[in-house]
Amino acid sequence: HHPDGKPPLIWVELEGGGRRYDLPCEPVENHRIGDQRLTESRILLPPDLPMGWHRLWVQQEDGVRQDNALVVAPRRLPEAPRGWGLAIQLYSVRSHRSWGLGDLEDLADLGVWAAHELGADFVLVNPLHAAALVTPMENSPYLPSTRRFGHPIYIRPEKIEEHGYLPADDVALVSALAEELRVRNENADLLDRDAVWAGKRQALEKIFEVPRSPARKVAFNAFLEEEGEDLQAYARWCALAEQFGPRWDEWPEHAAEVEPDPHRVEFYAWLQWIFDEQLDHVQRELLRAGMKIGIIQDLAIGVHPFGADTWAMGDLLTQGFRVGAPPDMFSPAGQDWSQPPWNPVTLAQAEYLPFRDILRFVMRHAGGLRIDHIIGLFRLWWIPPGAPPVDGTYVRYDHQALIDILCLEAARAGVTLIGEDLGTVEPWARDVLSDRGILGTTVLLFERDGETIHDPNGWRTECLASVTVHDLPPTAQYLDGSHLRLWDELSLLDRPYDEAFTSHEREVEVWVNVLRNEGLLSPVDEPTPTQITVAMHRLMSRAPSRLLCLSLVDGVGDLNTQNQPGTDQEYPNWRVPLTDEQGEPVLIEELADSTLLRTLVRSLSR
């Protein structure tokens, strides 16, 4: 609004420098407030503004100025490549050299091998966000302390340059720590993050003390400067958590005034530098090996309610409320994910910069990004304090602004975007995402309506297709029905076990009949679970989907669920190692001998 007949001076400050002056405005409507006549006008932006984060300035006749962020985003992202890849839970994929848990060096080894030997174009990993680095460590990669920084548990200590300059006694100590944890790779016991981090932390502390070369000092200082205050705040939080525990709601009232040991703060900042270096190395190696995309990162929907991000972000997150999902056929009671949601008002007032910064981190060394529960950019199911999920309600967000920012950052990073749009999603929202070049997600096990299987030939082209996902049983477990016994033990069935198992047998029979009709199974012989698994992947490969995804658990015949929704302590979610159909651990070095994996890869050829 401006005084009638006195249009303001309007200009744009460009992100890369320079200005665009004398932007015109177009009158829309006149208003009278008391004795003053005002004109409501629309600012006309030049069509050739470059993509970026600019500032729009308006100066009234009396000299009063106002400014706001101006984001110019691409109308549509470049077309995603066609290809196939592996989906893994990185922590579960170990090698003989792992420290008891899959890490970034394992990701490099697996990815390079899969590219050279199998022709894979990407590896989709679980979120690599950082948990609180104290015991008990949070196991879920989808409930991180922060989404702005990486989890140091994935660092391989021996790959740090300064490791080569350790004193002999420290070399022996680091080797002993590694060997103590490597014994765990040979068995299928549950993964123990606390034990792994205790050993790695000792090793990393020794390496941190090694004097850095002048060039390494410059590189570390440049990283600190680039990451700025956000990194310092996070490192400070880590040092405080080391002193007071992983949940800031249990800290003493004076904790905010405590100045932690600067050396510990520097240590935690250094860990992020090392993580960044090693992740960068992985992506470079995967692309060098011939992958079209390389790493596909996974962005969790939120963070721990009492972790580093909620400590630092204040009212940007709505403390007390929790994000979840309304009741549906898979979760009759609804779902409570415990994360506090973005406050749409304060996030907009912050010009969405916190959201942008998270995107920049997860895209920095990746060729793709999967956005978990992407419908959360449109609306989230808010659960009030103390209430069950069924009493929640949807709160809407400015999806146009969020998607513009997402597309701008993806275009700059050269990243393919994949939205997890399963479940209750309004069709128009899928259209919005597709129009912007964001791929959707299709899962074969969900493409069933009674005894009808949706023909993959009719699936969306602009999507990532798979047979299963990490929140479902591996295909082998699904086919033999053993997941139902687990669900019964966990009181997750909504009917008696015998009734559920009989229904499941009919469901599998539907799949077998469809696969026979499609010529993918013998019309007379009784198929084995392995034959059905291969046939399901062949059926899925008929889809026109740009990206096809093979879960590594299917490639080795794993019979163990990685994550069982609806449970917390009742099931060891996110602690299950990769195993074969006999329950024996499968290490990366042994994948080359997996006939099933190679057969499934061939089934994806199109």
- Class of CATH domain 83-603: alpha beta
**pLDDT value at position 329?**
64
Mean pLDDT of the chain: 95
**pLDDT value at position 121?**
99
Q: In this model, does residue 431 exceed pLDDT 80?
A: yes
Q: What is the mean pLDDT of residues 547-558?
A: 98
Q: What is the mean pLDDT of residues 230-242?
A: 98
Q: In this model, does residue 17 exceed pLDDT 70?
A: yes
**Residue 606 pLDDT grade (very low, low, confident, very high; cuts 50, 70, 90):** low
Q: Are 115 and 286 in contact (CB under 8 A)?
A: yes
The pLDDT tens digits of the residues spanning 328-385 come to 766 777 889 999 999 999 999 999 999 999 999 999 999 999 999 999 999 999 999 9
Beta strands 294-299 and 368-371: pairing type? parallel
**pLDDT value at position 197?**
99
Q: In this model, does residue 149 exceed pLDDT 80?
A: yes
Q: Are 126 and 298 in contact (CB under 8 A)?
A: yes
Q: In this model, does residue 489 exceed pLDDT 80?
A: yes
Q: 325: left (phi > 0), else alpha (psi -120 to 50), else beta?
A: beta
| pTM of the shown model | 0.96
**Residue 217 pLDDT grade (very low, low, confident, very high; cuts 50, 70, 90):** very high
Structure tokens at 437: 């070049």
Q: In this model, does residue 420 exceed pLDDT 80?
A: yes
Q: What is the mean pLDDT of residues 165-185?
A: 98
Distance between CA atoms of residues 438 and 211, nearest Å: 45
CB within 8 Å of 245: residues ≥ 6 apart: 134, 251
Query: How much of the chain, in percent, has pLDDT values that exceed 70?
Result: 99
Distance between CA atoms of residues 114 and 591, nearest Å: 10
**pLDDT value at position 63?**
84
Q: What is the mean pLDDT of residues 241-251?
A: 96
- The full set of domain ranges for the chain reads 2-72, 83-603
The pLDDT tens digits of the residues spanning 70-92 come to 999 999 999 999 999 999 999 99
Structure tokens at 557: 């015949």
